[in-house]
A and B are shown apart, each in its own frame.
Chain A
């Protein structure tokens, strides 16, 4: 639980945009796994992580189907942007996260999936290849393509935010210069 719980939660939260829903999905996943392990129904033999995340992804999909997905995503995009604008000067890290989440919502499903599995669930490319049953090379190409699309979307968002916020890297650079000067 200690190792996999936060990763499943992070994946679910990224997909669902709601921490409560993410916690419910995480609960459902681990309840299923615990019962299967107790009853001896686990037969994956050494491929525990892909099995775990396959269950997690199925539960997230089921949850998305039962929620009103369009409304959820639009609300999240809008709230993420508002959060970024409102918290621009005080909380750059939070705004940066909100920007990223909003941009990820605009990616296509396969692109978003690979980004979430890699960065939220913390799966390696080898594990993703086992989970998604695709060659590593295909996943690498998809990953790079997805990140480039994400970068484009982030660049498109920045003018919309009015460029009021300085990027964290720029701020850190300035401070560093002052310190050594």
Chain B
């Protein structure tokens, strides 16, 4: 089986660059000298830049000890924060619209998208509260007491066990 080397491990061969044409060779040599002169003049500047860059790196706090962690943390923040921020913005918009006088539709009038959304949110809140109340201890005991009374009432009825269980089924 032929082993394929990774795509970037073997760069394509580069053909040799042909020499500079003779008519411009002297000028190319002059430019080479100028370039060398400029680079030589840049050595002192380069040294100063190196010193300042080192000082800059020491002065600035590092972004994170592990750049991968900082990247993950940033992504996690965006993942959780963005939807929350978006939902808060929507809620705020709804509240602002609803608080304006005349923003609620009159009975029998056409409802806007915002009103539908507001109604949906209210319904969700109600459902949540209902769910929350279900787990409330007082509500549970009250509910249980109601079931017990119903069960006692049913016990006095001349019904068989199957009918009793069927009746209680909704309460359980």
Contact = CB atoms under 8 A, between A and B. Distances in A.
A5 B38 contact: no
B27 A147 contact: yes
Interface string A1-22: 1100111111001100001001
B63 interface: yes
A23 B49 contact: yes
B45 interface: yes
18 contacts: A1-B53, A2-B46, A5-B45, A6-B38, A9-B41, A13-B42, A19-B45, A31-B52, A34-B57, A41-B67, A96-B30, A118-B31, A119-B34, A125-B17, A126-B17, A136-B14, A148-B23, A151-B27
B24 interface: yes
A142 interface: no
A38 interface: yes
Contacts, number: 122
A91 interface: no
A147 B28 contact: yes
Contacts of A59: none
A6 B49 contact: no
A10 B39 contact: yes
A85 interface: no
Contacts of A136: 14-15, 17
Nearest to A143: B20
B43 interface: yes
Contacts of A35: 57, 60
Contacts of A84: none
B75 interface: no
A126 B14 contact: yes
A166 B119 CA distance: 93
Contacts of A19: 41, 45
Interface string B1-43: 0000000100000110110110110011011101101111111
B56 interface: yes
A83 to B, nearest CB: 14
Interface size class of B (residues with CB under 8 A): 35 or more
B82 interface: no
Contact of B46 (A1, A31, A140): A1
A176 B31 CA distance: 24
Interface of B: 8, 14-15, 17-18, 20-21, 23-24, 27-28, 30-32, 34-35, 37-43, 45-50, 52-53, 56-57, 60, 62-63, 67-68
Given A19-B45, A30-B53, 13 more contacts: A1-B47, A1-B49, A5-B43, A5-B47, A5-B50, A9-B41, A23-B49, A27-B53, A35-B57, A38-B63, A119-B34, A125-B17, A126-B14
A9 B46 contact: yes
Nearest to A98: B34
A45 B6 CA distance: 14
Contacts of A97: 34, 37
Interface string A116-129: 00111010111000
Given A6-B42, A19-B45, A26-B45, A40 B53 contact: no
